[in-house]
Amino acid sequence: MSGFCTEIVVTGLASITAAGVGLEPLTETIVSRVSALRPIPPDVAGEEGHLWGRAECFRASDFMPPLKARKFDRCSLFAVVAAGMALRDAALDPAVAGGERIGIVLGCGFGGIANSEEFLRGYLTRGNDGLAPMLFPNTVPNAPASNASIEHGLKGPNVSFVQRFCSAESAFQMACRFLEEDRADVVLTGGVDELNPVMIRAFRDMGQLRRHGKGFGEGAGILVLEKGESARRRGALIRAKVDDIRTIGRLLPGRESEGLDRLAGGNAILSLISLSGTARGLPALLERLPSVPILEISELLGRSLAMGGTALVSLILASSPGEAVSHYAASPEGPFYGIDITRVE
């Protein structure tokens, strides 16, 4: 049963992760279940025994001239490149299709933090003379979506979400809403985040490297969502269909069961479930889910505030045509998401 009045389909996917650049290395990692996490240098973490998932195979120079790449922060580079790959996967050229009806909604947790640190360091150590104007536009989390829209001519709705571990899921829901409200025919969505030593040192100083900061990763997972009628009109290959989205803001004291029942209330016979954020830490939710295989990419690629985009891409890649799958995500204090998808191709 669909929770939408408008048919919403997935016509393109893209991924940049610790596994590599593109869908093929991500698929190989999902199938092999071999972790792509690597040790964090002790001088960064302060001690041995910690892992991170850096996208070490990503080279901006493989996709654009070095002088052009210099104007972007690392997170924006992920977004610009992944958005281009997703559009190509969807066989969609905004210059031909008309960028006015194509939007972008991304989740982003720590985007711009490296540039912010460098920008503020210059000011705090050298005053006004230490400020670098070129850094300033990339010091905010909405820079990745904005830079991707400029580079690819996406002139429709443009929104960024910072919603703890559900940043990408919040973006996904808004993207579907834009399609339902006819504000766009196509919306790129998902999540993008960067990882750098500044973050790890901050997690270390807050005592979070073995808790919420454990095994952090980076990269981008982007999906091209499209109205079904639009996709068929242009002869696009439909990878999957979005069936329903369920969300609650928080679990109210004394009414936790009511909230979890609503969250886990999908009707489909599932073949696979993916978990993201802190969903694994909700045993009462897991008890309500069917006994099917669970895919949790944080164990393979690391976690981030916007890793839900990569989790959704992985869920589609790991399923077979005709299978119904669900994605569950949670943040410690909320929100919580349940997203139902049917694989098509």
Of 133 and 110, the structure prediction assigns the larger pLDDT to: 110
Of 101 and 117, the structure prediction assigns the larger pLDDT to: 101
Domain positions in the chain are 8-233, 243-343
Measuring CA to CA, which residue among 266, 261, 268, 308 is closest to residue 284?
Answer: 261
Please write the tens of the pLDDT for every residue from 175-223.
Answer: 999 999 999 999 999 999 999 898 898 888 888 888 777 889 999 999 9
Of 139 and 109, the structure prediction assigns the larger pLDDT to: 109
Please write the tens of the pLDDT for every residue from 52-74.
Answer: 999 999 999 999 999 999 889 99
* Whole-prediction pTM: 0.94
pLDDT reading at 36 higher than 80: yes
> What's the Cα-to-Cα distance from 105 to each of 10, 69, 149, 192, 267, rounded to whole Å?
14, 22, 10, 11, 28
The neighbour count for residue 133, using CB atoms within 10 Å, is: 7
Q: What pLDDT, on a 0 to 100 scale, did the predictor assign at position 227? A: 97
Please write the tens of the pLDDT for every residue from 233-253.
Answer: 999 999 999 999 999 999 988
Q: What pLDDT, on a 0 to 100 scale, did the predictor assign at position 2? A: 53
User: Do 317 and 30 touch, CB atoms closer than 8 A?
Assistant: yes
Q: Domain 8-233, what architecture?
A: 3-Layer(aba) Sandwich (3.40)
Tokens of 254: 């004394």
Pairing mode, strands 38-39 and 51-52: antiparallel
Same fold, 8-233 and 243-343: yes
* Cross-strand pairs, 324: 270, 342
Pairing mode, strands 336-343 and 240-248: antiparallel
pLDDT reading at 1 higher than 50: no
Please write the tens of the pLDDT for every residue from 75-112.
Answer: 999 999 999 999 999 999 999 988 999 999 999 988 88
Q: Distance from CA of residue 106 to its chain's centroid?
A: 7
The whole-angstrom separation of Cα 311 and Cα 317 is 10
Question: What's the one-letter identity of residue 148?
Answer: A
CATH of 243-343, one of 3.40.50.720, 3.40.47.10, 3.30.230.10, 3.40.718.10: 3.40.47.10
Looking at the chain, the number of H-run helices and the number of E-run strands are 14, 13
pLDDT reading at 307 higher than 90: yes
